[in-house]
Amino acid sequence: MRLRPLLTCCGLLSAAALPAAASAQAGQDPPAEAEREEPSGVLGNIIVTANKRDENVQDVPISISAFSGDQLTALGVTDTTGITQQVPGLQVNQWSPNLTIFNLRGVSQNNFTDNLEAPVAVYFDNAYMGSINGISGQIYDIERVEVLRGPQGTLFGRNATGGLIHYLSRRADDDDWNGYAEGSYGRFDNMALEGAIGGAVAPGVRVRAAGRYETADGYVRSRDTDAAAGLVGSGQDLGGRDGWAGRITAQADLGSTATIDLWYKHAEDNDVATGGYVFDNCDFLANGYCSVDEYGLGNGSGGVINGITGEPASPFEHFGERRGFLDRSVEIYQADLTWDIADQLTLTSITNYTDLEKSYGEDGDAIPVLVINFDTTNNYRQFSQELRLSGESSLLRWQAGLYYLDIDMDGTIALQGAPVLGVALDANGDAVNPTVLQSYAIRSKNWSVFGQADWLLTDRLTLTTGLRYSQDDKSMDYLAILTDPEVAPDATIASSSAFETVVPGVNDIDYGDWAARVVLSYEPNPDLLVFASWNRGIKGGNWSLGADVVAENFKHGEETLNSFEAGFKSTLANGMLRLNGTLFHYIFDDYQAFALTGGVPFVTNSDARATGAELELFWSPSPRFDAILGGAWETSSVDQVRGPGEQFGPEFFPGAPDAEYCTNQGGFFFCDYPEDFITDAEFPNAPQFSFNYLLRYNVDVAAGNAAFQVDGAWFDDQYLEVTNGRSSLQRAYNVTNASLMYTHDDSGVSLQGWVRNVFDQEYRSYTLNLGILGTTSFFAPPRTYGLTLRVPFGDR
């Protein structure tokens, strides 16, 4: 059997398998299987579950990008963040596997505190991942990834204002035994092994096991500043990998009308070489600090430097003296039940338990002296239960359900150095390496009831209505202790009990709200869908944790998004071309804006607006050539964002003159800036224009098929933080990847050679503007290359 081009969405349901009601909606009778010609290349029928049922992506009135497992293999995607270059409007903000921040249409909360939930919801196999510590990870034996832009609160909950990313693994649904083994080796000693096997073990009972292991050296090299003066680096190269993940799933038929799927998943990272940065974009003043604007934001115009000498440095060199680390373990238990109770009536149950433990440490200043050290631990436990009924008739498709989510989170934060100097000076008039030790416990319970219906008004016109009511009940127990044993005994500087006496109710959240959807979609012919929609998304409140927090700013409120969209999905040129587009306008009430204020991560509420559009083109003019092109445009504005405010720092140069807005207090600088709020700021990670591309050509050769692929993305100028400081401006850049794959016809064995970031572009994946203390950044990998060998067996 000749392997079709890898961009074909193999193994997914064909359009002929869609329910008869879907064909009726299109204004035609369901064609017989023999009469339907299966598209080739990128135009293979893609079935998605955006509405929690199987539908052709072209029939769903939502802006969606979807990838099959074969597409992900062709793209070389092996972790959860790898899809970002091929999804219009999607960005990722990441300096470490410790935290991953997805940004969809500019909607994100690019914070680094473990207790917050993201506004772009992430689901794994129909279960919500509530911890931002659990979003990153290896993906393997994957069936499909779906990216849904815009609020998805009706069916997916109260933290999906920005959209949804859904990773779906291969289930144990094959009777015939099959699987594969794969190995790869690349630059920086990157080695990975991956495999899967599955099939029937008894009549009506099937199993599947899959796993992946990866290790790699860091690509940001450790360097000494001046060994003779004792300014030596940590010796740890950053950006490495060391982890494995596996899962076992079993599926059993319960009679002829019910199926149960049982999942066990485990993933862990062991002493990963992370937790450090490069010193970036600092224009040094005479006193050794970095130039700032009137808000106290770093406004450097240079590139990466040695933060001690000020000499230019490579983005792939760092001078930190402390070794960082990440240890993380995730265990997931899940049971899914699907029961056809009656004709056109189905019950679905999804039960999930997740246990995550993480320990992380970093050198936060990127220089070989102690200015900022940051350590966290997090123990996260989550239980969720969804029950859903669905049905359909000739004029109506509907579903209704109940959802329950219980989260227990216990964590610690240790912050040592400059961000807490002011606290120590206030208490003692002196300071020697002060540390604020924080502990917190969050107990969160959420329940919701939801429903959605498609009303087939005519054979071409459909009205979709959805509603969800969600109730959040959260409590916070918080304690912050200043410890500086060389100066004074430990002292409590903040606690939730003390906050309660100042602002009653500040430690509790009792929040009930509703999400809604109204969509009108029209099919003038079977090859064109046009739609207009209004969605209301909601996101719950939370707390800001840090040394400078007080009762009045401890808790931030919930946010609400009203989204207005219009779009189309079309099939042209006798089925050889698909063109999809969407225009949107967002109105945020109490948008949750994150900023580093006084050296402390704070979230404050402000109104915001955004307008944008996406366009995607899929073209297969012949069985030999495929192309995907996508583009996005967006403009945004946040009414006001709290600025850095007061800042503290050690005296780098004895006797140095005070900087503007700063005074010298006992060898430490205290700075206070006149402007407290930045107005009309752009969303973070939201370039005005972006463009993605993929071109693939294949030819039969030597008893097999060879395919050459070029893919990548171009991004316009963008701010990496919502404060919009000049030091956090990432200039426009392009990333291009290339691969050549040969696949043998009879065996299916493939060998792929790949190059990522072909032109060795230097661009930042993360930036944190520390004001007078400089800007720390982390750069995406330079040019990498390698080989991947894949050996399938059984029914391919």
- pLDDT tens-place string over residues 46-76: 789 999 999 999 999 999 999 888 888 888 8
CA distance 316 to 188: 12
DSSP 314: -
Which pLDDT tens digit goes with each residue over 482-494?
887 666 678 888 9
100-111 residue pLDDT tens: 889 999 998 777
pLDDT computed for residue 421 by the predictor? 65
Burial class (CB in 10 A: 0-12, 13-18, 19+), 610: buried
Residue 383 clears pLDDT 90, i.e. is over it: yes
- pLDDT tens digits along 136-193: 889 999 999 999 999 999 999 888 999 999 999 999 999 999 999 999 999 999 999 9
Structure confidence by residue, pLDDT tens digits, 505-549: 999 999 999 999 999 999 999 999 999 999 999 999 999 987 778
The pLDDT of residue 654: 63
Query: Could you tell me which residue, 461 or 27, shows the higher pLDDT?
Result: 461
By DSSP bridging, strand 99-104 and strand 90-96 are antiparallel
Query: Which DSSP state fits 743?
Result: E
pLDDT at 405 over 50: yes
Sign, CA torsion 232/235/237/243: negative
Q: Which residue has the tokens 């009549």?
A: 203
Q: Which residues, other chains included, contact 80 with Cβ-Cβ below 8 Å and sequence gap of 6+?
A: 100, 122, 135, 136, 137, 139, 165, 167
* Structure confidence at residue 598 (pLDDT): 73
pLDDT at res. 624: 94
Of 273 and 11, the one with more pLDDT: 273
Residue 33 has pLDDT above 60, yes or no: no
Using the predicted structure, report yes or no on whether residue 123 has a pLDDT greater than 50.
yes
Q: Band of the pLDDT at 42, cuts 50, 70, 90?
A: low
For residues 578 and 42, give the distance between their C-alpha atoms in angstroms, rounded to a whole number: 9
pLDDT at 796: 61
Reported in sequence order, the residue ranges of 203-322 that DSSP labels E, i.e. its strands, are 205-216, 221-222, 241-254, 258-269, 278-280, 304-305, 317-318
Beta-strand ranges (E) seen in 424-546 are 435-456, 461-484, 488-495, 508-525, 528-539, 542-543
Per this entry, what is the length of the chain? 796
Residue 430 confidence (pLDDT): 53
What is the number of other CB atoms lying within 10 angstroms of the CB of residue 465? 15
Q: Domain 15-794 belongs to what topology?
A: Maltoporin; Chain A (2.40.170)
Amino acid type, 402: L
Residue 43 has pLDDT above 80, yes or no: no
**Lowest-confidence segment of 113-117, 152-156, 418-422 by average pLDDT:** 418-422
Q: Which two three-digit tokens encode residue 389?
A: 């009924």
Interatomic CA distance for residues 89 and 713, integer angstroms: 11
Q: What's the whole-number mean pLDDT along residues 487-505?
A: 88
Q: How many CA atoms lie within 13 A of 660 on its CB side?
A: 10
- 223, 233 in Cβ contact below 8 A? yes
Q: What is d(CA 529, CA 533) in angstroms, rounded to the nearest whole number?
A: 13
- Is pTM beyond 0.85 here? yes
Rounded to whole angstroms, how far apart are CA atoms 630 and 782?
A: 24
What is the per-residue pLDDT for 29? 39
Residue 17 has pLDDT above 60, yes or no: no
By mean pLDDT, which of 140-144, 423-427, 655-659, 666-670 is the weakest? 423-427
Q: Summarize the confidence of residues 721-731 as an average pLDDT.
A: 93
Q: What three-state secondary structure class fits 480?
A: strand
Beta strands in 623-703 (DSSP E): 625-642, 647-650, 662-665, 668-671, 677-681, 689-701
Q: How far apart, in whole angstroms, are the C-alpha atoms of residue 484 and residue 491?
A: 9
Judged by DSSP in three states, 773 sits in helix
Q: How far apart are CA 466 and CA 429, in angstroms?
A: 59
pLDDT of res. 487: 63
Reference 114, options 499, 323, 375; nearest CA is 375
Kindly list the distances between the CA atom of residue 26 and the CA atoms of 31, 457, 459, 525, in Å, as whole numbers in the listed order.
12, 12, 6, 7
Question: In the prediction, which pLDDT does 648 show?
Answer: 75
Mean pLDDT of the chain: 89
